[in-house]
A and B are shown apart, each in its own frame.
Chain A
Amino acid sequence: MLKLIGGLLVLAASGLGGWQVSRSYARRPVELRQFIAALQVLETEITYAATPLPEALGGVAEQVGVPVAFFFRQVAGDLGAHRGCSAREAWHKALDYYGPRSALGASDLGILRGLGNSIGISDREDQSKHLRLAGEQLKIAMAMAEDAAGKNVKMWNYMGLLGGLVIVLALY
């Protein structure tokens, strides 16, 4: 009986572990898609309405889903609080907080960090170029992330459970 409970625990633990890994693969393309959509909204706000960043980013935060909305809300909040905080500082600060908590990889965060260096500092035309460039880069990253997700999500789900099963059988 005790053995059975132990075996079930091992199975559950490894199953959950596999599910965790697969979920992070599944979340990455979703977050990237949200970022791409967010940058498109931001570009519209900037090029057509020349809305200042605190308002524009606040607007973006309302239009995209969580968790990406949290990032934009934080940047908007920091900028809105004024006192000489540049868009770059606020963007990077929010990214530092958001990055480790997201499913994004280092390369994805690198693209966003690069965008942070140019956000808000030039005219509309130039801003549009930077936003589009980042958008294109994120699209490529998303295609790769989707590929990886397609391969890995199911695999890790099964791996977790089957791996657990192997351990249980070996120990039984």
Chain B
Amino acid sequence: MSRYVIPKSVHTIAGSARITVGVPAGAWRQIASVLPSNLAEMIGRVPLRYLADLEEIRLRRDRPLMLGLGGSDYFIRQDGTPVSESSGVYVVNAVDLEKVLHNISGSSMYALEEELKNGYVTLPGGHRVGLTGKAVLENGRVKTLKYLSGLNIRVCREIKGAADGLIKHLIDRRVQNIYHTVILSPPRCGKTTLLRDLVRQVSNGLPGLQLAGRTVGVVDERSEIAGCHRGLPQMDVGVRTDVLDGCPKAQGMMILLRAMSPDVIVTDEIGSMEDIHALEEVFNAGVRVIVTIHGSSLRELANRPALKYLLQLNIIERFVLLGRSRGVGTVEKIYNGNDLPSLGVKMCLS
């Protein structure tokens, strides 16, 4: 089961006491507003101690309604009781799905064309709805989805302060600027959450570390960093941040570089040679870069041609390796780009 929602244990990044992050009432209201009224009421009756841990709501046609609550999933009865066996529980019907789609799209399926192609929609508040159905192909590429049969509404929680412990390691004190940084992480280790908070902090500035706010340009190809709904960031990404939503990374970096004169360019999950060439342009323009890469070690990167090329450019100054050894979002290591092989100190930030 894939979860883009970052579980609450991300607190290990923050390095402070356990942050309890329940679903705020605002988030629940945003989600309830796309549910048909019968479902919204039913889920609203789920006891608060469960509902506070709401991670996802799964609607599959003719199968039981399922809630992801605090890491495990539950069916629910009409009266809102969460149960783990599927007898006497609410079963999702075609009308429920149709109503959710009406609400998400504003009754305008044509407005979801791009989203159907990608298989997800971002809601106000940054929550995401994943969609499945039958794919309609055109020239071998997905044109749209029809006969939608499954929806997964994933609750979004931004964790402000996720980068508190890390950011001081990413500031070049000699020039009071951000290092070129690569965040290296296996999936589901909290890299996007971390990146978002880095963006916010760099954009707002850090008086405590004598870092003035920088203009940050974010290329958010999958709408995960800023969670844009109709182009408007739904998460706090800072006051000096420009977000290019849904744009392919390489093109987006060029657009930002030419049009928005950013001090820092941020993007998620680079990997292709095209991305690296775009990054080179960014380096040449003297703009700082913070990017994330899928991977679990530097050695692994060196085996991928595009990323090997990036390493050989020898321009990235900090590599941050995330893992889950102390829960999601643990900063396992921070490598200094100048002496890559030798610096292997395990930084424990929690």
A123 touching B110, Cβ below 8 Å: yes
A3 within 8 Å of B (CB atoms):
no
Shortest B150–chain A CB gap in Å is 18
A113-171 interface with B by 8 A CB criterion = 120-124, 126-127
B105 within 8 Å of A (CB atoms):
yes
Asked, given contacts A84-B36, A123-B113, whether A53 binds B103 with beta carbons under 8 Å apart, the answer is no
Q: Contact mask B67-110 → A, CB, 8 Å, 1/0?
A: 00000000000000000000000000000001100110111111
Q: Which of B36, B98, B107, B111 has the most CB of A within 10 A?
A: B107
Chain B neighbourhood of A79, CB < 8 A:
106-107
Chain A neighbourhood of B114, CB < 8 A:
50
Chain B neighbourhood of A55, CB < 8 A:
106
A87 touching B103, Cβ below 8 Å: no
B110 touching A86, Cβ below 8 Å: no
Shortest A115–chain B CB gap in Å is 14
B93-144 interface with A by 8 A CB criterion = 98-99, 102-103, 105-111, 113-114, 144
Chain A neighbourhood of B102, CB < 8 A:
84-87
B338 within 8 Å of A (CB atoms):
no
B178-237 interface with A by 8 A CB criterion = none
Known: A84-B37, A120-B108, A122-B110. 11 other contacts (CB 8 A): A50-B113, A52-B107, A79-B107, A83-B37, A83-B103, A84-B102, A87-B102, A87-B107, A120-B109, A121-B109, A122-B109
Q: How many A-B residue pairs have CB under 8 A?
A: 60
In the docked arrangement, what's the CA distance between A46 and B107, Å? 12
With both beta carbons as reference points, the residue of chain A lying nearest to B35 in the complex is identified as A84
In the docked arrangement, what's the CA distance between A82 and B100, Å? 10
Shortest A105–chain B CB gap in Å is 28
B106 touching A54, Cβ below 8 Å: yes
Size range of the chain B interface in the assembly: 10 to 19
B294-310 interface with A by 8 A CB criterion = none
Chain A neighbourhood of B111, CB < 8 A:
50-53
With both beta carbons as reference points, the residue of chain A lying nearest to B114 in the complex is identified as A50
21 residue pairs of the A-B complex, CB under 8 angstroms, read A50-B108, A50-B114, A51-B108, A52-B107, A53-B106, A53-B107, A53-B111, A79-B106, A79-B107, A80-B106, A82-B33, A82-B103, A84-B37, A85-B107, A86-B102, A86-B107, A87-B108, A120-B105, A122-B110, A123-B144, A126-B110
A120 touching B110, Cβ below 8 Å: yes
With both beta carbons as reference points, the residue of chain B lying nearest to A91 in the complex is identified as B107
Chain B neighbourhood of A83, CB < 8 A:
36-37, 103
Chain B neighbourhood of A50, CB < 8 A:
108, 110-111, 113-114
Shortest B52–chain A CB gap in Å is 25
With both beta carbons as reference points, the residue of chain B lying nearest to A55 in the complex is identified as B106
B110 touching A46, Cβ below 8 Å: yes
The majority secondary structure among interface residues of chain B is helix
In the docked arrangement, what's the CA distance between A85 and B106, Å? 9
In the docked arrangement, what's the CA distance between A26 and B114, Å? 45
Chain B neighbourhood of A56, CB < 8 A:
108
Asked, given contacts A82-B33, A83-B37, whether A127 binds B103 with beta carbons under 8 Å apart, the answer is no
Q: Which of A54, A79, A83 has the most CB of B within 10 A?
A: A83
Shortest A127–chain B CB gap in Å is 5
A52's contact among B98, B99, B105, B144, by CB below 8 Å, is which? B105
Chain B neighbourhood of A123, CB < 8 A:
109-110, 113, 144
Chain B neighbourhood of A127, CB < 8 A:
110
Shortest A73–chain B CB gap in Å is 16
A90 within 8 Å of B (CB atoms):
yes
In the docked arrangement, what's the CA distance between A90 and B106, Å? 12
In the docked arrangement, what's the CA distance between A86 and B101, Å? 10
In the docked arrangement, what's the CA distance between A55 and B106, Å? 9
Asked, given contacts A84-B36, A123-B113, whether A53 binds B108 with beta carbons under 8 Å apart, the answer is yes
Q: Contact mask A25-59 → B, CB, 8 Å, 1/0?
A: 00000000000000000000010001111111000
Shortest B140–chain A CB gap in Å is 19
A84 touching B99, Cβ below 8 Å: yes
Q: Which of B102, B103, B114 has the most CB of A within 10 A?
A: B102
B107 touching A124, Cβ below 8 Å: no
With both beta carbons as reference points, the residue of chain A lying nearest to B116 in the complex is identified as A123
A53-76 interface with B by 8 A CB criterion = 53-56
Chain A neighbourhood of B109, CB < 8 A:
120-123
Shortest B118–chain A CB gap in Å is 14
